[in-house]
Structure 1
Amino acid sequence: MSKDNIILTTKDFTILEAISDNPRVRTDLLVPHIRRKLGAAIVVFRQDLPEGVASVNSRVTFRVDGGATDTRVLSTGQVEAPVGMFLPITTPRGLALLGLSEGQEAVVDNTDGRAERIVLEKVEYQPEAARRERMAAKSEPASTQHKPLLRVVSGGMKDVRRPVPVMSDGFDDPGPSAA
């Protein structure tokens, strides 16, 4: 695993604890990696997670052993379709990426026992950052929320009498040009 800081949300930390305790999900290959990650993690609330850190449901672009980049969504493993879009954190690669920051790398043994160097290139989407953006948009000042500046009230002047213009000859009909 990575020697740099691992940052997990409280939710991600709890998910990893549940995986390590669940005999149906965990494998002997994952348990040591999960324990190391939990022991080294800096745990933060979701609103405090810095942008560029991979969390569950983040869309990440990464590279394995200097090969081509791949983009996947880190999942808990419960999503089954569409195939190839998700990378469960119950796999060595998914677990290695969880909690990394952009540019960070991790070395992990794959299912064949061979060490792989995984580099997190970019966090394309992070649910925690998207949530912060939505909350900030809701709390914008009223002047920037595009509310109407003028409000029309029907019948607001119904009791006001308007004077009728009278021509100099005493005739008050302006004729067809007034229409």
Structure 2
Amino acid sequence: MERALAFVRDEAGFAQVTTIDRAGFPVVRTMTAFLAPDWSVSLVQRNTHRRLEQWKRDPHTLVSWVGTPAPGASNERPHVFDLGLLPPRMVAIRGLAEPMPPEWTVAVYREQVTAQRARGLDKAPLRTDEQVVAELVGVRIRPVRVRLEGFGVGAQSHQWTVRREPT
């Protein structure tokens, strides 16, 4: 669904990333996440976060982007309650976190920071490749299940299992 990919890329911005803590509870935080056309998610983050230990214990992850209703959205027949609102759009990727090697992290960092700076977004520090390797870590979320809401007619949702060959 190209509209869902465009929504994440051009409108939604930040994602909510959910991991599982030591006690088995979901932990959610807002962060930058890059969705690829194959529904995998690339994350590059500082190497000090607790979520890195959470992923070592349990790689199950949910990444979601939620935003304004689609133009022309309707909610003519709510399933249970009528809130008087239009349903938001949502893209949710359920998957498994995989730590990535430093060269992958550098490549994703370079690609994304170059694109951001080309759009005039230059407030984040610019790191050398050596700083990226020393300060940041890359994680890829290998998709298992995709769910899209707000991209169909009315309350229609789309979901499917992503089948991948073992790596």
Bucket of the pairwise TM-score, normalised by the shorter protein: under 0.3
TM-score (norm 1): 0.21
The structure richer in strand per residue is 2
Larger radius of gyration: 1
By relative contact order (CA 8 Å, sep 6+), the higher-ranking structure is 2
